[in-house]
Amino acid sequence: MSGRIDAERILDVYLAPEADRLPDRVIEAALADIARTPQRRALRVPWRFPLMPALSRATTVAAVAVVAVVGAGALIYLNSTGPGGAGSQPTSAPTTAPTSAATVAPTAAPASQPTFDPTDPSAWATYTSAVYGFTMAYPSDWSVHSRAEHKWQPGEPVVDDAWPWADVFANREEVDGDSMGLWVFQIPAPEGADLDSWDGLQDVLQETCDEPTVNTCPSDDPPITLCLGEQDCQPAIIVLWDQEPTPTAAFGDPEAGTITLFSIGRPDDFPAAARYGGTVALLKAILSQLDVTEPKPGETPH
């Protein structure tokens, strides 16, 4: 042989554009299929959190009755949880706490405390995922909405309003019929993923973001960089998804080959986030209970 084969030039010719013509019958067959095919709902990491399917109407009626009976005591509690804090007028109080108490069983019991502060981590409830095994704390104005039933797996079809691969938490202060959710789950690290750097974590999120059960991608903004651990800095990041400014946090476990994700729904102006200063701040508060904090000046992973 006179030299190395120029594969690129050969492929330029071999794969060169020609007059490709798709037969009309193929398009017609596809359109016939489409006529019988419903579209899926635009369900990304879901910040829309329809609670009614999880609540029977009877339960809701019962919760309303509880409001009426409990009366002023509950309203004190509710006032103290709202954006106005203690001293707000009873008429501004949402009906969230009684509803929550009637439908879920949070392990914290702050309602009896008249000066309850949901941002105080000392009052937060702890939660251990039966599927993933992690333990975390969540704000005491939130509750467990649904528990993970199995581990996340690639390509799993999405069933609307059900997230069996995630432990899901809810804050039930509604705005226009929606409330906030927090989805916590783990995904296996893709082969070759770099879990020891912030960039590596972002690459992982970029690679997995079109999975049906993740299905939204980080924006082009640089991630918020964080460190897991007080001694060594194991990288953690918060990224904002590209469609709405809702954040997802991620940190990896190189030994287990997993990445834990915290996706929080709804923009900053929802009360459950506003009282922290926004969804990113709320997420940081939750992560801080797992020793995920801002890096020290000049600190980088390992």
Partner 1 sequence: MDRDLVEQAQRGDREAFAILARTRGDTLFGIARRILRDVGLAEDAVQQALVIAWRELPRLRDPDRFDAWLQRMLVHASYAEARRKRAWITSIRSLPVDGPPAPDELASLADRDEVERGFQRLPPEQRAILVLHHYLGVGLNEIGEVLDIPAGTARSRLHYAHRAMRALLEADARPTAAAGGRSS
Among 41, 120, 154, 177, the residue binding partner 1 under the rule CB under 8 A is 41
Residue 207 found at the interface with partner 1 (CB under 8 A): yes
List binders of partner 1 among 236-265 (CB under 8 A): 242-243
Report CA 130 to chain centroid distance, whole Å.
18
Residue 3 found at the interface with partner 1 (CB under 8 A): no
Residue 206 found at the interface with partner 1 (CB under 8 A): yes
| Cα-based distances in Å from 169 to 19, 52, 106, 147 | 55, 15, 10, 9
Among 95, 140, 213, 216, the residue binding partner 1 under the rule CB under 8 A is 216
CA proximity to 245, closest of 279, 201, 281: 279
Residue 150 found at the interface with partner 1 (CB under 8 A): no
Among 10, 69, 109, 162, the residue binding partner 1 under the rule CB under 8 A is 10
- 66 burial type by CB count under 10 A (0-12 exposed, 13-18 middle, 19+ buried): middle
End-to-end CA distance of the chain: 50
Residue 160 found at the interface with partner 1 (CB under 8 A): no
Tell me whether residue 29 or residue 52 sits nearer to partner 1 (CB atom): 29
Residue 18 found at the interface with partner 1 (CB under 8 A): yes
Residue 105 found at the interface with partner 1 (CB under 8 A): no
β-strand 167-175 against 178-188: which pairing, if any? Answer: antiparallel
Do 155 and 212 form a contact (C-beta atoms < 8 A)? yes
Q: Please give the residue ranges that form the binding site for partner 1 (CB under 8 A).
A: 1, 4-18, 20-23, 26-27, 29-31, 33-35, 37-44, 203, 206-207, 210, 215-217, 242-243
